[in-house]
A = this chain, B = another copy of it.
Amino acid sequence: MKAVIAEIITIGDEILYGQIVDTNSAWMGTELTKIGVRVKQITSISDSEEHIVQALDDAKTRADIIIMTGGLGPTKDDLTKTVLTSYFHTSLQLHEPSLADVTELFKARGKDITELNRQQAFLPEACTPVRNVLGTAPGMWFEQDGKVFVSMPGVPFEMKRMMTDIVLPQLQAYFQTPQIMHKVVQTIGLPESILAERLENWETNLPPHLKLAYLPHLGNVRLRLTGQGTDKEQLEQELQQEVDKLEEIIPNHIFAYGEVKLEEAVGRMLKEKGLTIATAESCTGGFLAHKLTSISGSSAYYQGSVIAYHNEVKTRELHVKPETLQQYGAVSEATVREMAENVRRKFSTSIGVATSGIAGPDGGTSEKPVGTIWIAYADEKQTVAKLLHFNKDRLLNIEYTTMAVLNLVRQSLNATVEE
């Protein structure tokens, strides 16, 4: 079965000038993918007639579905409706239900409809209007030579509602779309290149209708396996078989399936095991605590932290021995072990974790260059410390360290720490 191809065109200078980030397209890409439509291109263009016409001409040579957002506002620089009217050789007509919707919207705000907004209810005769219950600009659905053109406002919540309620179901009905499925496998602890080497054999032997993508971010590599077929159940089964094989190849590096963050996965483990945690942070400066508490419901396992930026705080609040600091320095295995053990005791938690390192850009020495970082995990049975080396900028060193600590907790709870 031939894949149904879509292109997204966003219209408006604010995206081109970087004044807003285009989050609409990602959302639409996700939703279209889910119904088996393949998004082949996303194009952001300026509010200009010539440019809109060119983008439409280009898109229709490649795609079955052309979805436009933006340029439907009531002001002069909003050209989309005018351009579409001439593009489809049609003319504007008052669409009474749209006028009623807009009038109602203004009434609800205690205001009278303005002339500019009244104009928004005039729509191209050749289109099927797409109702907008949340704003003043209706959408438009055009059909030409078996292709569908949809125009919607760029306001995210209006567009999303129109897509969900009307456009996506209509597209599914119009193009009997093929089955597309995804499985996401979350890995941690192996850089992309090393992961790729380990998976090379498996990847090469994937059946041709299953595709693999590597999506790395801060040491967490998401593996996305995409399958296309006609039989949903069979596809699901095939994908699951490959995921099972994957689990055999890298059992210790998979922390979740689906869109789950590492801090969320660790949080779930702690919750399930009824464990609590506290952090003692030097170089991460609170970022580790922040990650743990960014998860709703984290108060079930997270107690608190001491951020000990100065050595004085390390000795006074975390009871690190002055001799330890004297003999080994703050960035050392001995210090970070004491920090983890002592914060655990201080907060009476099951687990204590600690970080101490040189985040940079200053503070490095030839013996301990910037990016030298010690982390530790302590529970009632054991204390494990690990030395890390990063060569990123300050913020990234902090973020990578935080991921490494979360992974150390995960591995310790699973008893799979690699020294």
Contacts and interface: CB of A to CB of B under 8 A. Distances in A.
A362 B296 contact: yes
B293 A290 contact: no
Contacts of A346: 317
A203 interface: yes
A19 B75 contact: no
Contacts of A19: 26, 29-30, 213, 215, 222, 224
Nearest to A215: B14
A346 B316 CA distance: 10
Most buried by B among A16, A42, A305, A313: A16
Nearest to A135: B392
B117 A193 contact: yes
Interface stretch (A141-149, A247-255, A281-289, A407-415): A281-289
A293 B288 CA distance: 12
A41 interface: yes
A202 interface: no
Contact of A75 (B110, B196, B288, B360): B196
A45 B41 contact: yes
A21 interface: yes
A393 B77 contact: no
A313 B304 contact: yes
A78 to B, nearest CB: 9
Interface stretch (A79-87, A165-173, A227-235, A394-402): A394-402
Q: Copies per complex?
A: 2
A26 to B, nearest CB: 4
A325 to B, nearest CB: 15
A59 B40 CA distance: 16
B303 A306 contact: no
B309 A307 contact: no
B26 A296 contact: no
A203 B77 CA distance: 11
A192 interface: yes
A211 B308 CA distance: 46
Contacts of A108: 371, 389, 391
Contacts of A371: 108
A309 B313 contact: no
A32 B284 CA distance: 33
Contacts of A293: 285-286, 307, 309
A42 B16 contact: yes
Contacts of A20: 26, 215
Contact of A157 (B304, B396, B398): B396
Nearest to A302: B309
A194 B391 contact: no
A28 B17 CA distance: 8
A163 to B, nearest CB: 12
B25 A77 contact: no
Contacts of A136: 193
A360 B297 CA distance: 9
B297 A362 contact: yes
A214 interface: yes
Nearest to A392: B134
A214 B287 contact: no
A347 interface: yes
A18 B13 CA distance: 22
A361 interface: yes
6 contacts: A18-B31, A20-B215, A21-B22, A74-B196, A286-B290, A289-B307
Given A22-B25, A304-B308, 15 more contacts: A15-B29, A16-B29, A16-B42, A17-B182, A18-B39, A19-B29, A58-B58, A74-B193, A109-B391, A116-B196, A136-B193, A155-B216, A281-B286, A296-B394, A304-B310
Closest 10 CB pairs of A and B: A285-B293, A286-B289, A18-B29, A18-B30, A286-B286, A305-B307, A42-B44, A304-B313, A286-B290, A18-B26
